Amino acid sequence: MAIVPLAFFGDVVGAPGRSVFSRAVKELKAKHSGLRVVVNGENCKNGSGLHPEGYRDLRAAGADAITLGDHCFKDTRIWPYLDDPKEPVARPANLAAGAKGKLFSRVSLGDAANGGKPGLYVVTVLGRLFMSLPANDPFATVDRVVSEIEAAEGGGDSALVLVEIHAEASSEKIAMAWHCLRRWPRRVIAVVGTHTHVQTADARLLEQRMAAMTDVGFCGGHGGVIGRTWESVLHVMTVQNPVSMEVCDTEPQADGCVILIDTEARAARGIEPFQFR
């Protein structure tokens, strides 16, 4: 049995999130030999979007791949990275056909002698329920992109897929997990949710082979409201003035989960949430 551990970190919010993410990666790598790391960089730039500085910080800290969500285009300076096939950062796959950027990133699960195979392809889709950025059907998009990955890899056992669903509704995230289990049982090994910044208590293995979790949480200051200071959030909610909500830097914490991938059986063997304080 060949087990490869992979850590998936929730949305990184601002400089506090980048700092605690870096510390968490070091601790997890000391605990899990051969750990691969995937992180959502959606809110790196002062709480909204990803900028080149944030991208470099996440990569230097050990991120093998970086995902994005509805703020993917907030900073135009990251656009060249999205187009560059050598940079492991991708936009959500279910945006308009003409949108900039790659649809997935690849993380090597094997050694160099075997060409890094099998590879883990990380695909993000946006949910459609209660989301402000219009998106195409996430279920049909996953089917299309996984089919494209299979075709590019020539089928067989050379490609595994992790699906991230960046969405508000728990029901939509859980539905995506069951959809992938039924349509892609030996291809998609995990479906994890992001966007709400609140870690859920439902990490599990569906039918003892696919890891699923509704929301992995976020990396940043937990002393406020989902990464922002409680004072600024309360001001917006009670006065309704359009003011900037400040990034929270108190009670830094990195949330996520560690997934154990059995590359021979093409299945997940475990999923364990973490909260690194």
CA distance linking residue 102 with residue 187, whole number of Å: 20
Catalytic residue among 71, 166, 179, 195: 71
Is residue 71 part of the annotated active site? The answer reads yes
* 8 A C-beta contact, residue 154 and residue 119: no
Residues ≥6 apart with Cβ < 8 Å to 120: 6, 36, 106, 107, 108, 109, 160, 161, 162, 189, 261
Closest by Cα among 170, 178, 263, 158 to 216: 170
CA distance linking residue 143 with residue 90, whole number of Å: 17
The neighbouring-strand residues paired with 38 are: 8, 65
Closest by Cα among 257, 266, 140 to 209: 266
Tokens of 10: 């929730």
Dmax of the chain from CA atoms?
61
Rg (CA), the chain: 18
How many helices (H) and strands (E) would you count in the chain? 6, 14
Alpha carbon distance, N-terminus to C-terminus of the chain: 32
Amino acid (1-letter code) at residue 59 = R
Q: Which residues are catalytic?
A: 71
